[in-house]
């Protein structure tokens, strides 16, 4: 009986209904906007959709689509996001170092987190880092809360990330292999 109550209290899975398609990409709808145009006969509605697509292994793309139907706007945005996939540096389940991104009025700070922390981020930032495959991260969104600008600032922050190996290579430093532990016999 207690186990049943424990299961009922669990939070619903955030990834429910967001299963990868045939290409292994995960799509997340960040924002859908409804716009009304007043005409002689009443109001005409149109929709725009902001979509994040990722392979959960460091590739993420942003798509934006507009149409008179929600489903058509989402389809257009999805197609656009698949064309714009970019690879970002991810170290194990987190990011290699702290990053700062800025786009228009939105500013985003991303910090690496220890294993088991989870994703401490909201809205657009959460969608981007989940699609990228990051499982442990601390994020803070500052300034504007416009979903489009927050997502673009997050992508810009991820773009500044570089792995340790890349930095050593550009500086011409040889990367040392970890010393093997010696066990006395």
The per-residue pLDDT for 155 is 94
Domain count, the chain: 1
Give dist(CA 121, CA 162) in Å, integer.
Answer: 21
Give dist(CA 162, CA 99) in Å, integer.
Answer: 10
Q: What are phi and psi of 159, to 5 degrees?
A: -65, -25
DSSP assignment of 115-169, as one string?
TT--EE--HHHHHHHHHHT--SEEEEEEE---HHHHHHHHHHHHHT---HHHHHH
The per-residue pLDDT for 40 is 92
In a domain, 151, yes or no: yes
The per-residue pLDDT for 122 is 86
Give the residue ranges of the chain where pLDDT is below 70: 1-22, 177-185
In a domain, 177, yes or no: no
The per-residue pLDDT for 60 is 94
Q: Show the tokens assigned to 26.
A: 């995960």
Range of the domain at 47: 2-170
The per-residue pLDDT for 17 is 45
The per-residue pLDDT for 103 is 93
Count CB-CB contacts under 10 A for residue 20: 13
The per-residue pLDDT for 183 is 60
In a domain, 83, yes or no: yes
In a domain, 182, yes or no: no
In a domain, 176, yes or no: no
The per-residue pLDDT for 18 is 53
Q: What is the CATH number of the domain that holds 58?
A: 3.30.230.10
The per-residue pLDDT for 14 is 53
In a domain, 175, yes or no: no
Give dist(CA 152, CA 102) in Å, integer.
Answer: 8
In a domain, 131, yes or no: yes
């Amino acid at each position: 009986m207690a186990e049943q109550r424990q299961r009922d209290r669990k939070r619903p899975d955030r990834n429910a209904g967001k299963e990868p398609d045939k290409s292994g990409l995960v799509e997340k709808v960040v924002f859908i906007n409804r716009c009304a145009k007043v005409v002689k006969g009443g109001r005409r509605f149109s929709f725009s959709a902001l979509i994040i697509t990722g392979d959960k292994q460091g590739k993420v793309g942003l798509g934006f689509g507009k149409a008179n139907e929600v489903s058509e706007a989402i389809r257009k945005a999805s197609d656009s996001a698949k064309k714009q996939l970019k690879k970002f540096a991810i170290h194990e389940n987190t990011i290699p170092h702290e990053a700062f991104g800025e786009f228009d009025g939105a500013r985003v700070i991303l910090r690496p987190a220890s294993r088991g922390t989870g994703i401490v981020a909201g809205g657009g930032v959460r969608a981007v880092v989940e699609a990228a495959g990051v499982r442990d991260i601390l994020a803070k969104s500052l300034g504007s809360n416009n979903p489009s600008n927050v997502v673009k600032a997050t992508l810009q922050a991820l773009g500044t990330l570089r792995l340790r190996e890349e930095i050593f290579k550009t500086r011409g430093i040889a990367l040392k292999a970890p010393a093997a532990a010696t066990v006395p016999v």
